[in-house]
Amino acid sequence: MTFDKIDLELLALIQQNASLSVDELASRVGLTKTPCWRRIQRLEKSGVIRKRVALLNADLLDLGVSVFVQVKTNQHNTAWLQEFSRIVSGFPEVVDFFRMAGEYDYLLRVLVKDIKAYDDFYQRFINATSLSDVNSNFSMEQIKSTTELPLPGLPKT
């Protein structure tokens, strides 16, 4: 799929504020409402826009501890990965889950209230699956976090 400058501008605006009306988006990219709406529909149908969400403040919801959990396994087959993915996806504390190259096989980002809540998660996690090593790293400070993807062809700030 190819994107012109207007598509990229729409995507940038929607990434910054998904609650902007079609009228406001159209005005900002120099289109009328109907062509703007059609472009947004095309971007949604193609899967480029996966969904629109509200970003919540984890600290205000008492989820201020972010833990990066590195996992090693001696299982490297499709059936095990499918089952492991199902298990990990069932933990609401896991907000990111990656298969990695390198020393560790998987990386999880876990959000919890405190160390006790992490220990509770950890106990449930290791009892739910078979792993050869788990390493937990606690974030001291979040310096940058964004959901905005770097879009090609737009000026960088």
Give me the CATH number covering residue 106. 3.30.70.920
How does residue 157 score in pLDDT terms, banded at 50, 70 and 90?
low
Reduced to 3 states (helix: H, G, I; strand: E, B; else coil), residue 115 is helix
Average pLDDT, integer, range 53-59: 95
Q: What residues make up the domain containing 71?
A: 65-138
Reduced to 3 states (helix: H, G, I; strand: E, B; else coil), residue 147 is coil
Looking at the structure, tell me whether residues 127 and 87 fall in a common domain.
yes
pTM of the model as a whole: 0.88
Residue 101 lies in a domain: yes
Number of H helices, E strands in the chain: 5, 4
Distance CA 76, CA 79 (A): 9
Q: Which of 19, 32, 29, 111 is nearest to 65 (CA)?
A: 111
Contacts 24+ apart (CB under 8 A), 134-137: 134/69, 134/70, 134/71, 134/72, 135/69, 135/70, 135/71, 135/104, 136/67, 136/68, 136/69, 136/70, 137/67, 137/68, 137/69, 137/70
What does the pLDDT look like over 104-137, one tens digit per residue?
999 999 999 999 999 999 999 999 998 999 999 9
Residue 151 lies in a domain: no
Residue 28 lies in a domain: yes
Q: What is the pLDDT of residue 1?
A: 83
Residue 23 lies in a domain: yes
Number of domains in the chain: 2
Residue 116 lies in a domain: yes
